[in-house]
């Protein structure tokens, strides 16, 4: 690759602007006095590569050096760093620089909007109710009695099965399969997602020849509230007799598995490769780091935080941070790690002493103790 890095390559990202410093400041809820407010900026970029006609941001003191050297026309910064902004660069001061960056970047690069129309290869059942503003891509299938609200976008090869409801402005990526689901407004579903498939439910019948597994009908639905995002290749099983529920504003990363009857509260964050077994409840604002696994029928309290690769085998109280497998409170986990490190250092010291006494010139009158002995 010989191409120079481009921020917001127009081949892939919609472009708006330019915007004046005053317009950008207004999005941040601040005012910039003087003629500098009339300066026009044409895009966004990281500190290291930003030009005089672009806006950047800093939210981590680790990169103060990049701030001092930046050639950006404006930088979104915390008040504590405003004095580090170089001369000639406009300081856009806010207490939440990263939130500000999200808003400003969206000004210049808004997400794709629905382009009304139906590709000629799409198949839409006559009983489906589809708003005229919906964008339906190539080879999309919409089943009987499905309801697709205004402003929705359906990517190529996606299947919306019978009775599914998509709320206003929902976006569904390519190659998704959605069944047995009621989905709210502005939900964003990335490519390859599977929603509403059978949960992993079966009864075991013991026979002389061995066990036989009998499938238990999965009669629940998936209920997804407004403003949820579901990452690529994530799977969400429908409930068995109850519903699987995803609360408003929750974010699921790629490759997450949600079992049947799971209930996620509002604004939860579930990072990649997390698996949540059936009938587990995560209350509002729970954050789960990557590759954590949950046994079934658990409750994780409001605002709890679960570390990466944690194994959750019992209920977690509200507001607590748990690490390790099996998971335990963070303070207890780090205390145990400190003890183990101390024990390992002691063992290494004893082994070194034993080697020294057994070497030529060592203290032969004192037999070396077995490595690791007290």
Which positions are catalytic?
A: 260
Residue 258 contacts by C-beta under 8 Å, 6 or more apart in sequence? 234, 235, 236, 237, 244, 246, 252, 264, 276
pLDDT at 361: 60
Q: Are 203 and 186 in contact (CB under 8 A)?
A: no
What is the rounded CA–CA span in Å between residue 142 and residue 276? 29
Residue 232 contacts by C-beta under 8 Å, 6 or more apart in sequence? 173, 190, 191, 192, 193, 254, 255
Q: What is the maximal distance between C-alpha atoms in the chain?
A: 96
- Predicted confidence pLDDT, tens digits, the chain (374 residues): 445 566 888 889 999 999 999 999 999 999 999 999 999 999 999 999 999 999 999 998 899 999 999 999 999 999 999 999 999 999 999 999 999 999 999 999 998 878 999 999 999 999 999 999 999 999 999 999 999 999 999 999 999 999 999 999 999 999 999 999 999 999 999 999 999 999 998 999 999 999 999 999 999 999 999 999 999 999 999 999 999 999 999 999 999 999 999 999 999 999 999 999 999 999 999 999 999 999 999 999 999 999 999 999 999 999 999 999 999 998 888 888 888 888 888 787 788 888 877 766 655 444 444 444 44
Domains of the chain: 19-108 (3.40.1390.10), 176-267 (2.160.10.10)
pTM of the complete model: 0.87
Could you check whether the bond before residue 18 is cis, i.e. omega within 30 degrees of 0? yes
H-helix or E-strand containing 172?
strand 171-172
pLDDT at 338: 87
């Amino acid at each position: 690759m010989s191409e120079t890095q481009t921020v917001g390559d127009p081949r892939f990202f919609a472009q708006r602007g330019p915007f004046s410093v005053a317009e950008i400041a207004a999005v941040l809820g601040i005012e910039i006095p003087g003629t500098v407010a009339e300066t026009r900026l044409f895009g966004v970029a990281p500190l290291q590569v930003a030009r005089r006609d672009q806006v950047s941001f800093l939210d981590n003191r680790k990169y103060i050096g990049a701030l001092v050297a930046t050639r950006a026309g404006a930088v979104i910064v915390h008040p504590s760093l405003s004095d580090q902004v170089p001369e000639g660069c406009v300081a856009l001061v806010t207490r939440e620089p990263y939130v500000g960056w999200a808003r400003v970047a969206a000004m210049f690069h808004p997400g794709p909007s629905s382009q009304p129309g139906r590709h000629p290869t799409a198949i839409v059942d006559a009983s489906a109710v589809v708003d005229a503003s919906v964008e339906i891509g190539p080879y999309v299938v919409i089943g009987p009695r499905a309801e697709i609200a205004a402003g929705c976008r359906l990517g190529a090869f996606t299947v919306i099965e019978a009775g599914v409801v998509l709320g206003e402005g929902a976006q569904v990526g390519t190659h998704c399969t959605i069944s047995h689901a009621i989905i709210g407004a502005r939900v964003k579903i990335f490519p390859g997602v599977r929603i509403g498939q059978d949960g992993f439910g079966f009864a075991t019948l013991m026979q002389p020849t061995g066990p036989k597994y009998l499938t238990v009908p999965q009669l629940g639905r998936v209920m997804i509230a407004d403003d949820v995002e579901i990452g690529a290749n994530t799977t969400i099983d429908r409930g068995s007799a109850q519903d699987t529920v995803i609360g408003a504003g929750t974010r699921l990363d790629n490759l997450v598995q949600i079992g049947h009857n799971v209930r996620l509260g509002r604004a939860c964050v579930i990072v990649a490769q997390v698996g949540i077994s059936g009938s587990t409840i995560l209350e509002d604002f729970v954050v789960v780091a990557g590759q954590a696994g949950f046994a079934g029928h658990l409750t994780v309290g409001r605002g709890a935080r679960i570390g990466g690769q944690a194994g959750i085998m019992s209920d977690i109280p509200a507001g607590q941070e748990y690490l390790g497998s099996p998971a335990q409170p963070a303070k207890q986990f780090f205390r145990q790690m400190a003890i183990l490190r101390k024990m390992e250092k002691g063992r290494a010291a004893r082994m070194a002493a034993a080697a020294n006494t057994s070497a030529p010139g060592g203290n032969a009158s004192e037999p070396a103790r077995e490595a690791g002995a007290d």
